[in-house]
């Protein structure tokens, strides 16, 4: 008899365990759960409100999703790095101020206002990243104080003028009636999709993306491999500030105005979009694709909540429960630095 004949067949329990391990790994690798949740929520919304299945309503949902995803883009990078950027509301407020009071009221060209926002918010973010890395300070503390300072400075510059509106050149980019290459959808949707493609290429197809992931997984080990971790931290927080500032420009353009609290809702909802998408602090599997799905999930869920007459407090409770559920699921995966 051959050795193959004598070897026992694998036990059914072992096969089941291996199959479950492969299935769980697949769930973590690809945003399968997020896609299923989006499909389920969209189906629920159409069944509950059949009238919402029209181009106008769909466009509105996609625009709101795009604004949230853009506001959460920089936060996605910071979370993958293992930090948290609480200065986002300040950046968004400053961007809204540049769109309304500078470009709208003073007549500064829209492109110049965008460039000023990128340089100012990106420069502040770069300083935050360098300080946090150089002095080993928690970003939570530095970004919270800096965000408050940016908010105060912006309100001082505004001098109580909240009546201005962005110029038509900016409003047309986020207007529900806007067109893109003759097609009936606002340019903001295409802009966010292109940003998503660019982010995917950076994170998955470039050496800089690999160095970025390595720094987020374990910056001490990354430093030993001669990765300039201080440069990575500085650049990531600079990108977070610049992207949040640009998001503020689009948010003000969509609403045709601004207020003192225009950026506050996007701190919680932006972080929620990142976490609901499945990106966990220092996770090697974090991606902007997941954030896009998380933003769409929250937008659909918010629409359902509003249609059922729930209050803002009740919606925040629901969002909090969802975040806890997602973090408990993805947070149970053993961290990469503990696998070796």
Give the per-residue pLDDT at 12.
61
SS (H, E, C) 46-65: HHHCHHHCCHHHHHHHHHHH
What pLDDT was estimated at residue 8? 56
Distances (CA, A) of 287 to 81, 107, 229, 271: 11, 38, 20, 13
Reference 276, options 259, 264, 257, 289; nearest CA is: 289
By C-alpha distance, which of 196, 226, 177, 174 is closest to 64? 174
What distance in Å separates the CA atoms of residue 41 and residue 161, rounded to the nearest whole number? 40
Kindly report, residue by residue over 178-210, the tens digit of the pLDDT: 889 888 889 999 999 999 999 999 998 999 999
State the Cα–Cα distance between residues 246 and 115, nearest whole angstrom: 9
pTM of the model: 0.88
Are 247 and 160 in contact by the 8 Å Cβ rule? The answer is no
Q: What is the pLDDT of residue 19?
A: 59
Check residue 294 and give its pLDDT.
93
Of 78, 40, 66, 58, the closest CA to residue 274 belongs to: 78
For residues 81 and 72, give the distance between their C-alpha atoms in angstroms, rounded to a whole number.
Answer: 14
Domains and CATH numbers, the chain: 52-333 (1.10.3470)
182 sits in the region (left: phi over 0; alpha: psi -120 to 50; else beta) called left
pLDDT at 340: 39
Query: What's the pLDDT at 119?
Result: 98
* Residues of the chain under the 50 pLDDT cut: 1, 3, 334-340
């Amino acid at each position: 008899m051959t050795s193959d004949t004598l070897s026992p067949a694998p036990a059914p329990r072992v096969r089941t365990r291996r199959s479950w391990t492969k299935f769980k790994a697949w769930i973590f690798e690809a945003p399968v759960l997020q896609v299923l949740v989006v499909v389920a929520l969209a189906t629920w919304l159409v069944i509950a409100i059949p009238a919402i299945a029209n181009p106008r309503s769909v466009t509105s949902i996609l625009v709101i999703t795009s604004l949230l995803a853009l506001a959460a883009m920089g936060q996605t990078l910071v979370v993958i790095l293992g930090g948290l950027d609480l200065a986002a509301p300040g950046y968004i407020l400053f961007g809204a101020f540049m769109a309304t009071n500078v470009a709208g009221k003073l007549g500064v060209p829209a492109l110049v206002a965008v460039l000023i926002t990128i340089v100012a918010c990106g420069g502040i973010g770069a300083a935050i990243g360098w300080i946090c890395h150089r002095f080993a300070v928690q970003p939570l503390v530095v970004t919270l104080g800096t965000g408050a300072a940016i908010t105060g400075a912006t309100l001082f510059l505004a001098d109580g003028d909240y009546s201005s509106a962005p110029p038509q050149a900016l409003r047309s980019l986020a207007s529900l009636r806007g067109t893109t290459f003759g097609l009936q959808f606002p340019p903001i949707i295409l802009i966010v999709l292109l940003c998503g493609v660019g982010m995917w290429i950076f994170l998955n197809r470039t050496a800089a993306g690999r160095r970025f992931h390595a720094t987020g997984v374990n910056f001490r080990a990354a430093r030993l491999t001669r990765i300039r971790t201080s440069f990575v931290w500085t650049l990531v927080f600079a990108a977070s500030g610049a992207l949040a500032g640009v998001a503020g420009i689009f948010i003000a353009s969509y609403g045709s105005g601004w207020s003192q609290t225009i950026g506050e809702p996007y701190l919680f909802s932006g972080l929620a979009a990142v976490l609901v998408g499945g990106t966990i602090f220092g996770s090697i599997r974090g991606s902007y694709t997941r954030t896009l799905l998380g933003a769409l999930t929250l937008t659909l869920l918010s629409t359902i909540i509003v249609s059922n007459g729930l209050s803002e407090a009740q919606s925040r409770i629901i969002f909090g429960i969802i975040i806890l559920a997602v973090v408990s699921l993805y947070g149970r995966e053993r961290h990469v630095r503990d696998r070796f």
